[in-house]
């Protein structure tokens, strides 16, 4: 079942609720989503079998690594997951981006068109979202940019955590700032924590209130790992073997 496009932006259910109750409702109604940041269909299919994958983010660089046709890859990925699949426009000017976005939206019902956080990108976001096409505005590095994306009707805003960390700025502080602004004004735009490089990034994004995190498959797989879990399991298996019993 694909992502259904609405004729117009959905009304925010929080607009009828104020104060702490609104924040509590948001947390109950919107559990954190896990997206895979990859164009490797084998990895996506494998993660999808876990039942924990809510969507996929791609970009031209990731798809170029596959050596396959861009549209074919997007279509195949859309068939593997029910949630949104971000497909990025390759151009940077308004007219070409808009035309590309409309073509991408026709590939599958669960395509989410990705555009850069520029004035032309925001114009495309406004045009597509007004037509009911979900848009992921990417390359966000400050809260003002996130505010603009929400005003333009973005379904997702993608702040790049790791790249901010590289410059000596705390990427998670940006997540917290955006969360506060969006909650202040009941924006529907979901915060999609991107440029996630470690399991600690995932944890910190969850603590900061990100609606979604997108990470490479290896980071998602590493979430289950802890040396004490491995050690404890070895002990349990050994102790059970000593009993000579079977279940």
Residues classed as catalytic: 114
What one-character-per-residue DSSP string does 85-153 give? EEEE-S--SHHHHHHHHHHHHTT-TTEEEEEESSHHHHHHHHHHHHTT--EEEEEE-SHHHHHHHHHTT
The DSSP string of the chain is -PPPPPSSPPPPGGGG--THHHHHHHHHH-PPEEEEE---HHHHHHHHTTT---EEE--HHHHHHHTS-HHHHHHHHHHH-SS-EEEE-S--SHHHHHHHHHHHHTT-TTEEEEEESSHHHHHHHHHHHHTT--EEEEEE-SHHHHHHHHHTT-SEEEEBHHHHHHTTS-HHHHHHHHHHHHHHHT---EEEEBS--SHHHHHHHHHHT-SEEEE-HHHHHHTT--HHHHHHHHHHHHHHHHHT---
């Amino acid at each position: 079942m694909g992502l259904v496009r609405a004729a117009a932006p959905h009304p925010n259910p929080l607009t009828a609720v104020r104060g702490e109750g609104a924040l509590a409702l948001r947390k109950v109604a919107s559990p954190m989503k896990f997206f895979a940041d990859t164009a490797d269909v084998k990895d996506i299919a494998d993660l999808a079998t876990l039942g924990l994958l809510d969507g996929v983010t791609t970009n031209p660089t990731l798809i170029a690594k596959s050596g396959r046709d861009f549209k074919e890859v997007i279509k195949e990925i859309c068939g593997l997951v029910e949630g949104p699949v971000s497909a990025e426009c390759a151009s940077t000017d308004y007219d070409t981006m808009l035309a590309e976005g409309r073509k991408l939206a026709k590939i599958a019902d669960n395509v989410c068109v990705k555009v850069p956080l520029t004035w032309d990108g925001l114009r495309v976001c406004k045009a597509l979202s007004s037509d009911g096409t979900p848009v992921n505005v990417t390359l966000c590095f400050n809260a003002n940019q996130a505010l603009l994306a929400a005003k333009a009707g973005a379904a997702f805003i993608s702040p790049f955590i790791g790249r901010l960390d590289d410059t000596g700025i705390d990427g998670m502080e940006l997540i917290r700032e955006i969360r506060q602004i969006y909650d202040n004004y009941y924006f529907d735009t979901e915060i999609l924590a991107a440029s996630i490089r470690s399991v600690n990034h995932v944890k910190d994004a969850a603590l900061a209130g990100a609606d979604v995190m997108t990470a490479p498959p290896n980071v998602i797989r590493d979430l289950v790992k802890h040396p004490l879990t491995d050690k404890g399991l070895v002990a349990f298996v050994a102790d059970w073997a000593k009993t000579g019993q079977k279940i």
